[in-house]
Amino acid sequence: MSRVHEALRKAQQSPEPAKPDSRAKIASSVIESPLAVETPAPSPAAILEIEDIEDAIRNATELPYHPLSDALLVNPAKPREAPSEEFRTLRTRLNHLQSLQPLHTLVVTSASPAEGKSFTATNLAITQSQLADKRVLLADFDFRRPTVEKTFQIDSSPGISDYLLGKVRMGDIVRRIAGTNLYVMTAGEIVSNPLELLNLKECKLLLETVREHFDWVILDSPPLLFAADGNLLATMCDGTILVVRIGTTTFDSVTRALQSLCENNILGIVVNGARRGELYSKYNYYHNYYYAPGAESEEAGDLQAEAEQQELQADE
């Protein structure tokens, strides 16, 4: 009996065996089993991330530069015309801002239709692309009333909407204007839900991607007071320019447009529709005098008189 009691006493004093840790077993199985983590199928956004956009840019389809005759585009062959000078001034200011802050994606919009936003976006893109070290992308995000394909007389599709819907790849929508540093993305096929398309994560990723591969990405967007598209695009870009037209845009429209943007990333306002006499005659006078070799004071007076006469005729 003493031996039995001794055995019982020792059994009571020995520690209980440790209970297995269920969490350790689960963790161990996850680490050891290659099937524990399920790999999801790649989404269109993931496809965009792994796509070589530089390859798409290098192999972009080249299109001849045959703009619409009445598109009022800056003419590189006439660099001293007044509109060219105005857009060069805008370009200089934007490039200066870019040297002070991260600024690559730019929304050009207006309060209402027919105020010159597409005219400004296109000419600004052309002017920026005239600099040898600038790679510029003009993207038509106005899915409601696209204009880029009409201005350059090119096919609308494939375009941005086709890409966001997963129908084409990046290389299909990036096209280059031959002989220039200007690339264009047309709006693409007409969609019934433009705002929902812009809310897709693929849209934000697209803008983030092209931002890293172009010096300037200039977006033409719908008017702020007629659609929410421009407001949404402004939140995804580095800056916004508001275009107003003299004699058309009201102070109330400008105020409401600025309020709709929450005064976020607004770089400035471009005034469109100045009188021809206020620009052309003065620019012509200045450049004709400056570039005339050996211009004398009498010749300068004749040039000034001619410029003033042109201004009076234009005002009439």
Please report the DSSP string for 59-107 in residue order. Answer: TPEEE-----TTS----TT-TTSHHHHHHHHHHHHHHHHHHHS---EEE
The per-residue pLDDT for 74 is 86
State pLDDT tens for residues 107-157: 999 999 999 999 999 999 999 999 988 999 999 999 999 999 999 999 999
Q: What is the mean pLDDT of residues 4-27?
A: 47
The per-residue pLDDT for 229 is 95
- Model confidence pTM above 0.95: no
- Cα angle 229, 231, 232 (rounded to 5 degrees) comes to 65
State pLDDT tens for residues 22-43: 444 433 333 333 333 343 444 4
Q: Give domain 48-274's CATH superfamily.
A: P-loop containing nucleotide triphosphate hydrolases (3.40.50.300)
Question: Could you say which DSSP state residue 196 is in?
Answer: H
The per-residue pLDDT for 10 is 52
Q: What is the mean pLDDT of residues 101-107?
A: 95
The per-residue pLDDT for 79 is 66
* Position 71 pLDDT exceeds 90: no
DSSP reduced 3-state for 242: strand
